[in-house]
Structure 1
Amino acid sequence: MDKLKDIKALLVTIGMPKAQQSDLCALTILAMADLTNSDKYTDATNDWIRIHEVIVFIRSNYGVNYAENTRETIRKQAMHHFRAAALIEDNGVATNSPKYGYRLTDEFLSVIHQMDKSQMDLTRNKALKSFLNHHEKLVDVYTSKKRIRKMPVRINGSDYSFSPGSHNKLQKAILEEFAPRFAPGSSCLYVGDTTHRDMFKDESTLRKLGLIITIHDKMPDVVLYREDKDWLYFIEAVDSVGPMSPERVRDITQMSSEVKSGIIFVTAFLTFSKFKQFSEQLAWETEVWIADMPDHMIHLNGDKFMGPR
C-alpha cells in the first residue's frame, strides 16, 4: 500500500501527534481524498463525505474493515484532530444530522495534489511549504497546551509539576495544605503522577525506614515522613477509587511489615460530598482529610479522641 505509507509520512511531516499518524488516520485521509492505491495524487478531490462513507471506501478500496460502531472512534481519533490542524473542515450542520459531513480544506488538497512528483520535498512541494508556514504543527500546539496546563508543586524544596486532573489537584493539596497543618516539618518520600507513577521517590530513606517497594500498585498515592515524631503517613488521594478500606490497610500493613516507625493511614478527598460517597468503605483506625475544609480532620478511631474540649 504505497499510498498508505505516503500519507502516513505526510502526517509526520506536517506535525500530527503520534496517535494521528496511524493507519486509521492515513486511510481516512485517502478516503476523504477519494484516492485508491492506483490513482494519481492529482486525482484527489475534496467532496463532502460522511464517516459512514469513509468506512465503506476504506473497506472497498483498501481491504480494511472498520465496523460501523467505530464511527465515534474515527471522529475522535481522526476528524477532531484533523480539523484542529486545518486539514479538514465540516459543513456546519448539526452534529446529530445525517447530513453532517467533512471535506479536505483547499490548501491541504493542494498539498496532496503536488505529491506525485515532489512527495515531502519542501523545495518542490510549494503547497506543503506554504501549509507549514501558515499553520503551527499540531504536535507543538498540544505539547504547549499540556505544558501550560501542568500544575506546579514544590516537593522537599524542589519544583515539580503535576499533570492536569482532579486526582493530581488533590495530591497537590495534600503536599501544600495537609502536610503543613497535620504533618509539620515532614518530608515527602513518595508521590505519583497520573501519567508517571513514580514522579518522586526517595528510595534511600524508604529503605532505611524498612519500606522496600516491590509492587508499585500497592503503594499509596503519597508517603510523608515526620522525623521528629518518627511518623510515617500513608495517604490515599481519592477521586474515583481507592480509599483506606480494610483491604487496603491490610495490603499496606503487609508491605510495611519491616517498618518500625509509627504508621498513620489517611484518606484524602477534595470535597465533603466525595467523602460521603466513600464513607462506608473506610476502615476504622484511619484518618480522613478533606481539602475543602483543610483545617479539620475526621478520626475514625473510637474513643481515642473522646473527651471535653
Structure 2
Amino acid sequence: MNKENDYIDAARHILISLGLPRAQQNERSALCLLALLNLTPGKVWQAAENPLMGITPIMTWVQTHYGKAYAPNTRETFRRQSIHQFCNAGIVLYNPDKPDRPINSPKTVYQIEPTVLALLRTFGTTAWHDALTAYLANRETLVAQYAKEREQNRIPVEIGPEQDSS
C-alpha cells in the first residue's frame, strides 16, 4: 500500500469495521484517523503511532501528508463530526496528558487509545480479523450505542379503540 487513496480507503474500511456511524465513514474522518496514527503514505500499519494532536495540527498534517487542504473555519467540523464521535466510541482519548484541562482550552489534544493502537497495528495482516473480533467482543460500537439511545427515548403511545387512526 503506497498510494494516498489506498490509505484513505483502508482507514474508511477500519471506521466501518469499528462500527462508526455512516456520517463518520468519510474521507475527513479517515484522514483524522490517519493523522492520529501518524500514518504517512508509504508507512506500514504496524508502524502506526499515537502522538498527541490538536485539531489544527491534525488539519495541517492532513494537508502536508495527503495534500488535502481544509479551510481554517472547518476546525469545528473536524471536532464535532469526526473527533467527537471517535472519543464517544472509545477510539480516541481526550486530553490524556491533562484530563482536567478546561474544555475550551486551545491546548486540547487527542490521542489514539492504546488498545485501539494495538488493534490497528494488525491491520493488513492475518491477525487483523481475529484481533478485530476480540476487540469488538469487549466493546459496544457507536452505532449500537446510538441505536440503544434512540430506542430508550421512544415513548409508547396507545390509541383507544374509539379513536380513528386516519
Q: TM-score, normalised by structure 2?
A: 0.87
Residue type at the aligned position of 1:81? Q
- Helix, strand or coil at the partner of 1:96: coil
> Any runs of at least 4 consecutive aligned residues in structure 1 with deviations exceeding 2 A, and if so which?
154-157, 185-189
Kept in 2: contact 1:48–1:101 (CA 8 A)? yes
Q: 1:76 & 1:84 partners in 2: Cα distance?
A: 11
Q: 1:58 & 1:64 partners in 2: Cα distance?
A: 6
1:111 is aligned to: 119
2:129 is aligned to: 122
Tell me the number of residue pairs that the alignment of Structure 1 and Structure 2 aligns: 158
Cα drift, residue 155 of structure 1: 4.2
Determine if the alignment matches structure 1 residue 100 to structure 2 residue 108. yes
Q: Which gives a bigger RCO, structure 1 or 2 (Cα 8 Å, sep 6+)?
A: 2
Residue type at the aligned position of 1:32? L
Unmatched segments (≥5 aa) in structure 2: none
Q: 1:118 & 1:62 partners in 2: Cα distance?
A: 27
CA displacement, residues 119-164 of structure 1 (integer Å, 9 cap, x when unaligned): 7x423xx2x233212111111111111011012223465xxxxxxx
The structure number with the bigger radius of gyration is 1
Kept in 2: contact 1:156–1:188 (CA 8 A)? no
Cα drift, residue 27 of structure 1: 0.7
Determine if the alignment matches structure 1 residue 15 to structure 2 residue 19. yes
1:139 is aligned to: 143
Q: 1:9 & 1:156 partners in 2: Cα distance?
A: 48
Q: 1:48 & 1:39 partners in 2: Cα distance?
A: 19
1:187 is aligned to: 164
Alignment map for 1:19-168 (pairs within 5 Å): 19-91=23-95, 92=99, 93-118=101-126, 121-123=128-130, 126=131, 128-155=132-159, 157=161
CA displacement, residues 206-254 of structure 1 (integer Å, 9 cap, x when unaligned): xxxxxxxxxxxxxxxxxxxxxxxxxxxxxxxxxxxxxxxxxxxxxxxxx
Cα drift, residue 187 of structure 1: 2.4
Kept in 2: contact 1:87–1:105 (CA 8 A)? yes
The structure that is strand-richer by fraction is 1
Q: Percent identity?
A: 29
Residue type at the aligned position of 2:138? H
Question: Over the residues paired in the alignment, what is the CA RMSD in angstroms?
Answer: 1.7
Q: TM-score, normalised by structure 1?
A: 0.48
The structure that is helix-richer by fraction is 2
- Helix, strand or coil at the partner of 2:33: helix
